[in-house]
Structure 1
Amino acid sequence: MPCTQTIKAGRRPLSHLQHPREAIRQFTPNWFAATMGTGVLALALAQLPVAIPGLYLVAEGFWWLTIALFVLFTAMYSARWILFFDEARRIFGHSTVSMFFGTIPMGLATIINGLLLFGLPRWGEGVVHLAQVLWWLDVAMSLACGVLIPYMMFTRQAHSIDQMTAVWLLPVVAAEVAAASGGLLAPHLQDAHGQLVMLSTSYVLWAFSLPVAFSILTILLLRMALHKLPHESMAASSWLALGPIGTGALGMLVLGSDAPAIFSANGLGGVGEIAAGLGLVAGLTLWGFGLWWMLIAVLITRRYLREGIPFNLGWWGFTFPLGVYSLATLKLGSSLHLGFFSLFGVALVAALALMWLVVAKRTVQGAYKGELFVSPCIAGLRK
């Protein structure tokens, strides 16, 4: 018997799709959540305050994987707009999938941060210019997502409180992630004025995002109290709220640590000292709020697990929020020199790595079969 006949039809690559080109036709921005989760794992592993042989190389490997995934997903999504333009533009009217536009700049931000963490030791100061160009591109995309997607929510999409989930946060949090990245990049610029411009822009981005995100969180708390938990398919969304809280804390800590030197170099030394103190206090306060939400998310997830959670790309929502909260925890440990935060940060990163392994395995399996290539925007159209 020919060996090809021994392979079951259900195990062929993309066997759930009528044609391989359907993988492009059904491609959505949801996939970029995988770059967020993989990228933040790379950053977290590289910043662990423990000496483990080979760990840095493993972290760098995850960063390279993030780049490869981002390039692949960008190519596939661009191809969809070229080959299936009329169907692709339907995303702007979809109340859920459109929110995932925010995952694109957030995935790019992890690559930019990795340029500083992995690229600088390998290639030298030349990568700073590339990181700067990519950062301003990231800022532009974040601002667009933070304004245009909410505007479409107000004008074109159908929403209701009982159907609301934490995915509403995705487009507005992108600017906050860009703010934290700007705080990491600013000290590497050569020009003092350029540092001040980037630092000031990052503070604006932080304020552009966090108050809006907290407004959404307030409504989300009311929604869950009145209408209980979302459908099992949205189980991972309970962790998304940890994203803006953890990123907000990390952003304040990073920007605050930059502030004294950068403001002083521009004749504003007193402002820098105030910003440093405010950054530490704000970071610690937001971390406490994040702890409450993380515990709530654990209890919610435990309840979902008893009933069974269907796998989908939304599971990547378990990773990035936990990752940024882990980074904020490690940053508090190094800033305050308190062992508790360092130890707790290590435990969180270990949990992040375990969750990444689970989600990545299921994603590879689902992608190979073609099960995950589903665009709700065109679900009702004939193939």
Structure 2
Amino acid sequence: MTPSPILIFPRPLTRLSSSRELVRQFTPNWFTATMGTGILALALNQIPVSIPGLHQLACGLWLFDIVLFVLFSGLYAARWIFFFDGAKRIFGHSVMSMFFGAIPMGLATIINGFLVFGASVIGPASLPIAHALWWVDVAMSLASGLVIPFLMFTSQEHSIEKMTAVWLLPVVAAEVAAASGAQLVPHLADPQVAFRILMLSYALWAFSVPLALSILVVLVLRLILHKLPHKDMAASAWLALGPIGTGALGLLLLGQDAPSVFAAVGMQSVGIVAQAIGVIGGTMLWGYGIWWLALAIMVTIRYLRDGMPFNIGWWGFTFPLGVYAVATLALARQTHLAILANAGIVLVGLLLMLWIIVFSRTALGAWRGDLFFSPCLMSNVAPITDEADIA
């Protein structure tokens, strides 16, 4: 039996009646655009090939990512302020509520950018900004990973037949924060602060990865029993690559930090073990990701053959591929295997191509207004037509 379409993205190709209607219809799945843009900036900067202007391009993308994140945050905050009753309906929606996890994951790419590009843009202030934002990101990630599953268990309607990899989004945010913490640690001068953040990052990794892998087991069963989701959810096939790539990246980066951080607090032997676990564990997760990457490519070809309509969910092609590409490059740096470096370059090239396609179609859809749609408002609610409606 083919699942019925999950109407979370499509909307008739008409302009919104007003900017107020745009605010009322704004949903957190737009933050997936900041995830995809941010990871592209970080991935381009890590390509192990000297290309003139590449660093500047990556930095420009990171600055653009900040603009997008601030804009989307303002729009979504305005929805909660002016349309509170409609906004709170998201907690009961079985799909859209999953995208709360996209907010801290989008912020994480900006935090990492402060560590990579910030010093050249704003100077020494970039480090304390990144440090402060990381704690905000951790808080949001923990809230997403706890509150949304609790709502799934208690009040939302779910079934195996309608399950997609979107279930991963709220729980994966914590491991993204863990990987960001690993990148923050080498910049911290105080050994005790670095040690605390390293240990917390390991805990964040464990808070997320085992649960995400458990969801993937159920997802495989769902695919076997009920086949592929509706074509509107085609891009969700790539989401499984996200926790695998981020999990591998987290282990690699945390293991890379471990020797110096543990040695500074008198636990040198633990650091050596952690470094080894990082390489071995990261390699094993990377290998697991090959299966999901190959499957995602085959599934996408199948969807393209049958017709795959564009929607905001296409941003699901970008971030999972991006973190897997960055993990590949990190593994190449630690193992000195040229084949991994070449594979990482190819993956980043594919990411760039997909980003251009998705961004251009998103920009067109946003201009038309057809991408702004809140499924939580699928009821007899009159459109916003008057200034008094805001009050």
- Give TM-score scaled by structure 1 length: 0.95
CA RMSD of aligned residues (A): 0.9
SS of equivalent to 1:223? helix
Q: Deviations over 1:296-341 (max 9, x none)?
A: 0000000000011111111000000000000000011111111001
Partner of 1:5: none
Instruction: Tell me how far 1:126 sits from its aligned partner.
Output: 2.7
Instruction: Report whether the alignment pairs 1:322 with 2:321.
Output: yes
1:243-282 aligned at under 5 Å gives the runs 243-282=242-281
Instruction: Tell me how far 1:127 sits from its aligned partner.
Output: 1.5
**Distance of 2:95 and 2:80 partners within structure 1:** 19
Partner of 1:145: 144
Q: Stretches of 4+ moved more than 6 A in 1?
A: none
Partner of 1:361: 360
1:222-261 aligned at under 5 Å gives the runs 222-261=221-260
1:110-259 aligned at under 5 Å gives the runs 110-259=109-258
Instruction: Report whether the alignment pairs 1:352 with 2:372.
Output: no
**Distance of 1:131 and 1:30 partners within structure 2:** 24
Partner of 1:292: 291
Partner of 2:48: 49
Partner of 2:104: 105
**Distance of 2:221 and 2:141 partners within structure 1:** 27
Instruction: Tell me how far 1:149 sits from its aligned partner.
Output: 0.1
**What runs of 5+ residues in structure 1 fail to find an aligned partner?**
1-13
**Distance of 2:267 and 2:123 partners within structure 1:** 30
Q: Deviations over 1:126-160 (max 9, x none)?
A: 32111110000000000000000000001110000
**Distance of 1:80 and 1:329 partners within structure 2:** 39
Letter in 1 for 2:345: V
Instruction: Report whether the alignment pairs 1:371 with 2:365.
Output: no
Partner of 1:16: 15
Letter in 2 for 1:34: A
**What runs of 5+ residues in structure 2 fail to find an aligned partner?**
1-12, 383-391
Q: Deviations over 1:5-58 (max 9, x none)?
A: xxxxxxxxx952222211100000000000000000000001100011001000
Letter in 1 for 2:280: V
Greater CA drift, 34-43 or 19-28: 19-28
Letter in 2 for 1:134: L
Partner of 1:93: 92
**Distance of 1:378 and 1:123 partners within structure 2:** 42
Identical aligned residues as a percent: 60
**Distance of 1:127 and 1:61 partners within structure 2:** 16
Q: Deviations over 1:176-224 (max 9, x none)?
A: 0000000000111111000000000000000000010011000000000
SS of equivalent to 1:221? helix
**Distance of 1:127 and 1:191 partners within structure 2:** 17
Letter in 2 for 1:255: L
- Give TM-score scaled by structure 2 length: 0.94
Higher relative contact order (CA 8 A, sep 6+): 2
Partner of 1:283: 282
Partner of 1:382: 381
1:296-307 aligned at under 5 Å gives the runs 296-307=295-306
Partner of 1:8: none
Name the CA shift for 1:122/1:24 in 2 (closer, same or farther; >3 Å).
closer
Q: Deviations over 1:107-144 (max 9, x none)?
A: 00000000011012444433211111000000000000
Letter in 1 for 2:355: W
Partner of 1:6: none
**Distance of 1:52 and 1:72 partners within structure 2:** 31
Letter in 2 for 1:73: F
**Distance of 1:18 and 1:309 partners within structure 2:** 27
Partner of 2:308: 309
Partner of 2:386: none
**Distance of 2:178 and 2:157 partners within structure 1:** 31
Letter in 1 for 2:232: S
Greater CA drift, 122-131 or 288-297: 122-131
SS of equivalent to 1:360? helix
**Distance of 2:83 and 2:307 partners within structure 1:** 35
**Distance of 2:172 and 2:303 partners within structure 1:** 25
